[in-house]
Amino acid sequence: MIRALHDYVLANESAPLDEDELIKRASALVPASRTTAGTGLIVAVAGGPRRAVLRPAELEADDLRRFLMAEALTGDDAVLSTSAGTRVELSGDTLQLVQDNGTGLVSLDEAGSVVVVQPAVDDHRTPMGLPSVVEEDVTERITRAIRFCARVLAHVDGAQRLSHVVPVAALRGAGYLPWRTRAEQQRSPNAATLSTRGVDRIVVELSPPVRRRTALRHNTQQLAEDFTVRLRREVIQ
C-alpha cells in the first residue's frame, strides 16, 4: 500500500500521463529508414509521464557510458555483439552505442526512451540456405531487448518517475523474407515462400499499447510472444 502510494505520487508530481502523446513518441523512436544492407529487429520503449529523467551532464557522464557498454555487451541481457566494434556517439539529447553502421544499436535519451536494434536475420547460421526470419529467434531477441530496456530504466530512473511505458517492435529490411520456424528452416533450408508484401519497415504495438512499467520485468515473455505474433501477421498477410 505504501509503495503504491509512493509510485502514484512520483507519477503525478509532474504533468499527468498523456497516453496519446506517449504512443506517438514510442512509434517515432523507430528509425524511418535503414542506412545499411542488413536487416533490423527493433524494440523501442518510451516512458511517461513525459519528463526529463537525465540531465545533460548525466547523459555525458562516463559512468553511464560504462554501464550501457557493460550491459549491452556482456550483461545478462546483452543485445550487442562482443565480436563487433562499438562506437559511442552523442547526438543532441541522445546517447548511442553503434555497431556496423547501425545493424546493432542501443540508444538512450534524456527522457529515458530506450531503443535496441539487433539483426533480424543471422545469415552466418545458414550460409548455404535461404535467409529467413526465424520466429523463435525473433521472440528470443525481443525478450532480451525488453529485459535490457527494463535494466536501463531501473538504472537511470530508480525512483520510477516514469510509471508507464509504451513498447513497440519493428522489422526493418526484412519484410520481403520468408517467415519460418526453426523446424521449417532445418527441414528445407534452400526452399521457402517469399513474402509478397516487400515492406521495408513494419512497426507494431500491443493492445492496449500503454502498460505499467513493471510489465517490462514481470510480463516480459508474454510481451515478446505477442509482438512476435503481430510481426508475423504483418509479414505473411
User: Of 96, 77, 201, 99, which is closest to residue 143 (Cα–Cα)?
Assistant: 77
* Report field, pTM of the whole predicted structure over 0.85: yes
- pLDDT tens for 129-144 read 678 899 999 999 999 9
Q: Distance between CA atoms of 73 and 225, rounded to whole angstroms? A: 24
And the C-alpha cell for 5?
A: 502510494
Q: Distance between CA atoms of 97 and 128, rounded to whole angstroms? A: 31
- pLDDT tens for 56-80 read 999 999 999 999 999 999 999 999 9
Q: Would you state the pLDDT for residue 184?
A: 84
Q: What are phi and psi of 35, to 5 degrees?
A: -110, 0
Question: pLDDT-based confidence at 192, cuts 50/70/90?
Answer: low
Q: Distance between CA atoms of 180 and 152, rounded to whole angstroms? A: 31
